[in-house]
A and B are shown apart, each in its own frame.
Chain A
């Protein structure tokens, strides 16, 4: 059974869509990630145009990050003030990002740029996850426990415009969080991701936020970034496909909840290593598409229907 997507202007198998959303949702629920970094390239692999994949993926992340934030919010693990400061940067970043995106669509380089960005990103995530999980597995075998540093003092503490963030027990300049938000905003708008896997380490290492507050706060601000990106794409690139988004959201929300349940029952390291391999597999596929001479070196895109 297939469904016609009104904005992508093609029909796809409905079960393929639901299982794609379900699997990405499951992985995101299990690892507490938004899943946009897998959703966008997988949508492109099944033939969805790049601009539709990016814009619709942002819309889907709104749903999955709301699901995720609620739990953290109830436990008081969201630093709204920090989230707000990050959002100031993200606001301008995503406007710039959508502008860059529409320029790239116009001159035909969007596919290439997206491929290179995703290759870099996925290779980075995949390798770091693989190294981290194999280290944990090795340490477990050797029965070692790893001690982690709690607080970092660095350049972020020496800049002007210092503000007190009571929830995170921080007294730092607002400049670093605004810059971080700005960068995440650009990436979110151009790649259709929430950016948690960049945001979370940045918040821990650059801002020195306590780990317990990091996930809730990053999810909280991802809701707003991706919401903004959705609106910006809907109004400038017209690439948000509501039908595609509906099926992806439905299946990914269910998948995410199942993923959360599964995460409590399964041992994390092995699955994390598995996810790392999936991520690296997707990265390899993207690299091959760029490096191997294509069968057809010409590609066609419709600019305008003549009425």
Chain B
């Protein structure tokens, strides 16, 4: 794995509240995640410091929130129903512009009201009413009633969570010495390629005091990229080459073993 260790630092000082003087310094260990032949997932490190008076420890009222939003994709969600004892796909809903990856963590547990007020979060905010579907365009197909729509929406979140592509936690940000924080974010091997946004929020007294965003990209490199783009751009020749490889290995395998047997 080619790991780029160009450490980025962003200094964000300013708009300090008069009572509490805190700023945010953040960094990340890589701008790109490369999918090559050995790719089996990655850990993304996001770290930084609450930049306050070093003699004082972090104010207990301030919190850090890290949000990672992956590239958008369209997904089809299908529900299985039992027909004569067989579990077959039946109803289908298409969700458009859904993040292929979503991660949200904070230093302390944030209330749903806070997330809703600041328009943060994609995950189900409340069990019943407050489901925010506004950001998603959806083709509901034959799904008509509200109850079933909610069922589909929570299934979307759940299936993404089961694939480790969506996560919302409140205990993954480590605080060191009261002033430094760091978080390792699991990027599973099934992540989509594309641009990812990392949004950091400094929260003081339940209000977002500062925000900072940066992007990193997940790209295929080397032979993975070559094979993938070749298969999309020249499918006929890709098929032909796959065949030629099969013919060569099949043929030579038989020849080699034939000689081997004669000896």
| Contact between chains at A234 and B239 (CB < 8 Å) | yes
Q: Find the A residue at minimum CB distance from B251.
A: A66
Q: Find the A residue at minimum CB distance from B82.
A: A293
| Contact between chains at B228 and A71 (CB < 8 Å) | no
**B254 contact set on A, CB distance < 8 A:** 66-68, 70-71, 253, 257
* A227 at interface by CB-CB < 8 Å: yes
Contact with B along A127-148 (1 / 0, CB 8 A): 0000000000000000000000
Instruction: Give the distance to chain A from B187, nearest Cβ to Cβ, in Å.
Output: 12
| Contact between chains at B89 and A294 (CB < 8 Å) | no
Of the listed stretches B107-115, B151-159, B202-210, name the one at the interface; the rest are far from the partner chain: B151-159
* A276 at interface by CB-CB < 8 Å: no
| Contact between chains at B242 and A235 (CB < 8 Å) | no
Interface size class of B (residues with CB under 8 A): 35 or more
Of the listed stretches B11-19, B24-32, B188-196, name the one at the interface; the rest are far from the partner chain: B188-196
Known: A59-B242, A296-B158, A303-B76. A250 touches B231 (CB 8 A): no
| Contact between chains at A299 and B77 (CB < 8 Å) | yes
| Contact between chains at B190 and A299 (CB < 8 Å) | no
**B75 contact set on A, CB distance < 8 A:** 300-303
| Contact between chains at B231 and A306 (CB < 8 Å) | no
* A254 at interface by CB-CB < 8 Å: yes
Q: Find the A residue at minimum CB distance from B83.
A: A112
* A117 at interface by CB-CB < 8 Å: no
| Contact between chains at B247 and A302 (CB < 8 Å) | no
Of the listed stretches B2-10, B37-45, B57-65, B172-180, name the one at the interface; the rest are far from the partner chain: B37-45
**A231 contact set on B, CB distance < 8 A:** 236, 239-240, 243
Q: Find the B residue at minimum CB distance from A68.
A: B254
Contact of B235 among A4, A235, A298 (CB under 8 A): A235
State in angstroms the CA–CA spacing of A248 and B232 once bound together.
Answer: 22
Known: A11-B40, A66-B246, A299-B80. A291 touches B86 (CB 8 A): yes
Q: Is the interface of A mostly helix, strand, loop or mixed?
A: helix
* B92 at interface by CB-CB < 8 Å: yes
Q: Find the A residue at minimum CB distance from B226.
A: A6
| Contact between chains at A298 and B155 (CB < 8 Å) | yes
Q: Find the B residue at minimum CB distance from A13.
A: B40
| Contact between chains at B249 and A250 (CB < 8 Å) | yes
**B189 contact set on A, CB distance < 8 A:** 2, 4, 10-11
Instruction: Give the distance to chain B from A264, nearest Cβ to Cβ, in Å.
Output: 10
Within 8 A of A (CB), among B160-198: 160, 162-163, 189-190, 192-194
Instruction: Give the distance to chain A from B79, nearest Cβ to Cβ, in Å.
Output: 5
Of the listed stretches B46-54, B66-74, B123-131, name the one at the interface; the rest are far from the partner chain: B66-74
* B78 at interface by CB-CB < 8 Å: yes
| Contact between chains at B71 and A305 (CB < 8 Å) | yes
**B38 contact set on A, CB distance < 8 A:** 1-4
* A109 at interface by CB-CB < 8 Å: yes
State in angstroms the CA–CA spacing of A290 and B80 once bound together.
Answer: 10
**B86 contact set on A, CB distance < 8 A:** 112, 290-291
| Contact between chains at B78 and A305 (CB < 8 Å) | no
Contact of B159 among A111, A242, A298 (CB under 8 A): A298
Find the residue from A3, A9, A240 having the highest chain B CB count within 10 A: A9
* A46 at interface by CB-CB < 8 Å: no
State in angstroms the CA–CA spacing of A1 and B40 once bound together.
Answer: 9
State in angstroms the CA–CA spacing of A138 and B182 once bound together.
Answer: 70
Q: Return 30 A-B CB contacts under 8 Å, by A number.
A: A2-B40, A3-B37, A4-B40, A10-B189, A11-B41, A59-B242, A66-B247, A66-B250, A67-B253, A71-B254, A111-B89, A112-B89, A227-B243, A238-B231, A246-B245, A253-B249, A293-B82, A296-B159, A296-B162, A297-B80, A298-B79, A298-B159, A299-B159, A302-B74, A302-B100, A303-B94, A304-B73, A306-B71, A306-B73, A307-B71
Residues on B facing A (Cβ under 8 Å): 35-41, 71-82, 85-89, 92, 94, 96-97, 100, 152, 155-156, 158-160, 162-163, 189-190, 192-194, 220, 223-225, 227-228, 231-232, 235-236, 238-243, 245-247, 249-251, 253-255, 257, 261
Chain A to chain B: the 10 pairs with minimum beta-carbon distance, closest first? A234-B239, A63-B250, A253-B253, A66-B250, A298-B155, A63-B246, A257-B257, A306-B72, A231-B239, A62-B246
